[in-house]
Chains A and B, each alone.
Chain A
Amino acid sequence: MQKQKKGIVGIANYDSSGFAALDVGHALVKGVTDKHWTDFPHALMPLDDKTWSDVKARGVIDRSDDYVVVNRQPYAIGETAENHGWRGRLEGAARYVPEYYGVLAAVLLHRLFPEGHRSLEVMATHAPEYIDYRADMESALIGRWEVESQGKKRSYFVRHMSFVDEPIAAGMNVILDEKASGFQHPELQSGTGLVIDIGGFTTDAALLKNGVPDYLSIYSDPGVGIIRAIDEFKRSLRSRYAAELKNSSLLRPDKLRIGLATGEYPAGGYGNLECQAESDMACERLVTLVSDIYNRFGGTSDMNFVILAGGGAGLLASRLITRLNHPNVRLAGRPTVIHMSIAEGALKMLHLLKQYGGI
């Protein structure tokens, strides 16, 4: 046992080999363990017998891990499902059923645990507005799962789940070090900070007071998210390049993300279509909405620091920094994998809970 200051006792040695944190977001599905992390676009398409037979006949399932069989039901996931024209997105609390949330989470576990696992501890994140559906999330995932992909069949047993609001997890990713054994940035343990998590459909926020989350401050705006910016970008792109895109009934989400981020849409044989103005317009509208949330919490005069999280932060960071006009704005994670910051923070909270919370 390791003794902390003032007699707080934590468990020094514990087995975290079955720890996983899962962040099933509206845009991307993400998971992390102590050793691995993974993500794929939020898309899940059950395949009927005929489609599955066709896919098997083409030999694709041996080459792509986007084809999975979960509890004997075949699915296409991620970009492959998107490219098949997937339209079956479940939103909000309707997602929290075994055949949707459970399957997405099981696929994450399959990618995170190469050997299978019989006793998993999962920390699941959710947008604050879904706090009343934690029991549904638990029902959707607790238990045994069989997952097969690329000929590798493994089983998993999810023994226990804990939950954390996404902006809290994002904040803790900055506050805590890797195994939640210390503070990563001691200078953030004083004053007030604001965490802003810009997700697919929702932007959430929460205050940190002297480094501690103020759970009563948690705020959620379901109308502000990066997916709406992408939709707006798509409309204006189609309007400008009507001739070039007229035969493209489906603009691939991954290409739209590139176009929005870079101002150049990769249009195959047409090369890169310049679309900086369309990108700016879509991003600026979202930046305005996010800065409104920032000002709602008091803005620059009330905050000692600001933490930006979520996939939207990666796209908007430079624009937001200019708009917020605060000298201490940080990303919740490494710039290259900012979208993983919530799952990473959730994993740290699982470590904290194990050391001090008695799970």
Chain B
Amino acid sequence: MARNKRSSKQINLPVRTFSFRLSNEKPQEKIARSRLELMETEGGNLRDAIIHWLTRNENELLIVHHDDVTLAVQDAFARFKADFFMEVLDHIRVEHPAALQEYVNPQAVSGKPVTPLTPEFITGVLGGMKKRS
């Protein structure tokens, strides 16, 4: 069923498994495959776990629906802005929690300094917009 790419570096740390329903379907119609399973270490962080997973699986596209995703997961997705593409998966596991610390770096996933807009850009965008209206 799932085209799940599992790491060969799995570490047997104490874990808790989180399950999320990731579909717009109603609970009673939920299909078992629409789940996101993540393992969180005692000292870990769910958001960072997701960021880690996304970062390490650069050739796959994750398609999820938002309705049932917790705030923690949404936050992780919001902060993750790397440009890569992944294939559709329906099962996800973070299997290398020890590597999470590499990615718990706010500068790496958010907070770039703002580069101010230029007059040429502003007039180009808004001028063209007005001409087209």
Contacts and interface: CB of A to CB of B under 8 A. Distances in A.
A79 B25 CA distance: 9
Interface in A310-327: 314-315, 317-318, 321
Contacts of A164: 129
Majority secondary structure of chain A interface residues (helix, strand, loop or mixed): mixed
B81 A318 contact: no
A172 B19 CA distance: 35
Contacts of A11: none
B132 A318 contact: no
A177 B114 contact: yes
Interface in B103-133: 112, 114-122, 124-126, 128-133
Interface in A211-244: 211-215
A189 B124 CA distance: 12
A164 B125 CA distance: 11
Given A134-B133, A261-B63, A335-B86, A213 B126 contact: no
Majority secondary structure of chain B interface residues (helix, strand, loop or mixed): loop
B121 A215 contact: no
B33 A266 contact: yes
Contacts of B66: 37, 336-337
A6 B63 CA distance: 43
Contacts of B31: 266
Nearest to A214: B128
B37 to A, nearest CB: 16
A interface residue count range (under 10 / 10 to 19 / 20 to 34 / 35 or more): 35 or more
Interface string B81-95: 101111110100000
A114 interface: no
Given A215-B131, A266-B33, A336-B62, A318 B126 contact: no
A30 to B, nearest CB: 11
A330 interface: yes
Contacts of B23: 254
A215 B61 CA distance: 31
B126 A272 contact: no
Given A163-B133, A182-B114, A182-B115, A335 B78 contact: no
B86 A318 contact: yes
Interface in B1-58: 1, 23-25, 31, 33
Q: Which of A6, A212, A272 has the most CB of B within 10 A?
A: A212
Interface string A174-192: 0011001111101001000
Contacts of B118: 5-6, 189
Given A79-B25, A264-B33, 5 more contacts: A177-B114, A182-B117, A215-B129, A318-B85, A357-B126
29 contacts: A6-B119, A8-B119, A37-B66, A134-B133, A163-B133, A172-B125, A176-B117, A177-B114, A180-B117, A181-B117, A182-B116, A211-B121, A212-B120, A213-B125, A214-B128, A262-B90, A266-B33, A272-B33, A330-B83, A334-B77, A334-B80, A335-B84, A335-B86, A336-B63, A336-B64, A337-B66, A337-B77, A349-B129, A356-B122
